Chains A and B, each alone.
Chain A
Amino acid sequence: MLELAIGIILGCCALGAGAAMIAGIGPGIGEGNAVAAACEAIGRQPESKSDVTSTMLMGCAVAETTGLYALVIAILLIFVAPRIFVSILMETIGR
């Protein structure tokens, strides 16, 4: 029974990590839009390439933040959470 419980905990942690990374869609679309707009701007004004590029990288990094939050949650779920949950389980059943 205990093995089953621990197995469920581990499986759910892995599933949760995978689900958390769905958030990768958002930054992907956002950064794609930003880069597309930057390409258009460079096409219109090739002389402002360096300015546009640095601003675009800046915006990309800010747009990436939500994806990185998801990444941090996923990493916590894979590497940190199972141990904590299992120890909580052990405490509750008194072992």
Chain B
Amino acid sequence: MEKLKNDPRVIDALLILGMILPIAVGAALKILLIPAAEGVEITGAHIFFTLPFPLGGLPITETQVNQWLVMISLLFVCLYLTRGLKSIPDKKRQHLAEWIVEQTEKLVKGNMGDYFEDFAPFIGAVLGLSAFSSLLSLTGLFPPTSDLNVTAGWAILVFILITYYKMKCGPLHYLKSFAEPVPFLAPLNVISEFATPVSMAFRHYGNILSGTVISALLAVALQGLSRLVLGWLPGFLGQIPLFRIGLPAVFSVYFDIFSGCLQAFIFAMLTMLYVAGGFPAEEYFKRQKQKAKKASKKTSIKNLEVI
């Protein structure tokens, strides 16, 4: 028993189980709790139950449950990839982990500059969470990103980040940036400021949702087509969904895999561009220099006094 506990293979197996189990739990919840639809139906997230809450009920939907399952699964992926790190890598997974980290850091450095180097973990998290959430539709579960609430939450987070970095030179400088290039354009600048999170949220949500809707419509259309072609055959031969075998998978490569990964990349990319673009770098570094000069002057004066 003691030997079994320390065997690295057992821990690896447990970690892999931790990756797969949340998805299985999600599938089980879907099968058990959600009533089967007649044919193909396009619906929003199913509400499992409503928590009593001081300000009206707090509905616990499929979106929240699936999002948490994706997060747990991703956590185990990270634990699996970073287990038993060595200075001279001898496992494939360490190479993979290093490749991911290096690529993310390169991407962040290339797009945001040296000042934002610390953004790499955040951008990596956004990329991974978004991509895995969209790819959840491959397992037949409801992808959390096709709910506006999720993407809107991420967009609001990004908006707060953008505003924080715009305020780095003080709130006055931030307010002044609205009056550029001419003061009477200020209302338009305010609108475009708020359009940023709205467009980010709608872009991600719309892309994933349209993929889901088109997949569902395609399934119905192919069902009709196969009934048209084979419907005249007697018995169960007429019921064979000929065109639904394999053909939807081809479209799924575009709508689920390509579109999901592309949207994750674009969301991360736009986050980087907006945050780095909103940051008044020149002004900030000028002020930092002035501060440093003042501080050095003060210390030199103090040193003189001491002498």
Binding site for B on A (CB under 8 A): 57-58, 61-62, 64-65, 68-69, 71-72, 75, 79
Q: Name the residue of chain A whose CB is nearest to the CB of B195.
A: A65
| In contact, B263 and A61 (Cβ under 8 angstroms) | yes
Contact B266 A75 (CB under 8 A): no
Chain A contact residues, majority secondary structure: helix
Within the complex, what minimum Cβ distance (angstroms) separates A53 from chain B? 11
A-B contact number at CB 8 A:
32
Contact with A along B176-219 (1 / 0, CB 8 A): 00000000000000000000000100110111011001000000
Q: Which of A58, A68, A69, A79 contacts B207 (CB 8 A)?
A: A68
List residues of B whose CB falls within 8 A of some A CB. Answer: 42, 44, 199, 202-203, 205-207, 209-210, 213, 262-263, 265-266, 269-270
**Pair A61/B266 contact, Cβ less than 8 Å:** yes
Minimum Cβ distance to chain A for residue B104 (Å): 15
Q: With A72-B206, A79-B42 in contact, is A65–B199 under 8 Å at CB? A: yes
Q: Are A65 and B266 in contact (CB under 8 A)?
A: no
Chain B contacts for A68, CB-based, 8 A: 202-203, 206-207, 210
Max chain A CB contacts within 10 Å: which of B206, B209, B262, B263? B206
Residues in A with CB closer than 8 Å to B210 are 68, 71
User: Which B residues are in CB contact (< 8 Å) with A75?
Assistant: 209, 213
Among B205, B209, B213, B266, which residue has its beta carbon within 8 angstroms of that of A58? B266
Closest to B207 in A: A68
A71 touches B262 (CB 8 A): no
Give complex CA distance A71, B210 in Å: 8
Q: In whole Å, how far is A74's beta carbon from the nearest beta carbon of chain B?
A: 10
Query: Which residues of the other chain, A, contact B209 by a CB distance below 8 angstroms?
Result: 71, 75
B203 pairs with A64, CB closer than 8 A: yes
Nearest-Cβ distance from residue B6 to partner chain A, whole angstroms: 45
Q: For the complex of A and B, list the 10 residue pairs with the smallest distance between their C-beta atoms, beginning with the closest.
A: A68-B206, A61-B266, A71-B206, A65-B199, A65-B203, A72-B206, A71-B210, A68-B203, A72-B202, A68-B202
Looking at the assembled complex, report how far the CB atom of A84 sits from the nearest CB atom of chain B, in whole angstroms.
15
Instruction: Give the distance in Å from the alpha carbon of A29 to the alpha carbon of B100 in the complex.
Output: 36
Q: Which residues of A contact B270 (CB under 8 A)?
A: 62
CB-defined contacts of A69 to chain B, threshold 8 Å: 202, 206
Give A72 to B269 CA distance when docked, in angstroms.
23
Expressed in whole angstroms, the Cα–Cα distance for A69 and B263 within the complex equals 16
**CB neighbours of B199 from chain A (8 A):** 65
In the assembled complex, the Cα of A58 lies from the Cα of B270 at a distance in Å of 9
Known A57-B265, A57-B266, A61-B203; further 12 A-B contacts with Cβ < 8 A = A58-B266, A61-B262, A62-B270, A64-B203, A65-B199, A68-B202, A68-B210, A69-B202, A69-B206, A71-B206, A72-B202, A79-B42
| A58 to B214 CA separation, bound complex (whole angstroms) | 23
In the complex the two chains form, what is the Cα distance from A71 to B205 in whole Å? 10
With the chains together, A72 CA to B205 CA distance in Å?
9
Q: Kindly state the separation between the CA atoms of A1 and B199 in the bound complex, as whole angstroms.
A: 41
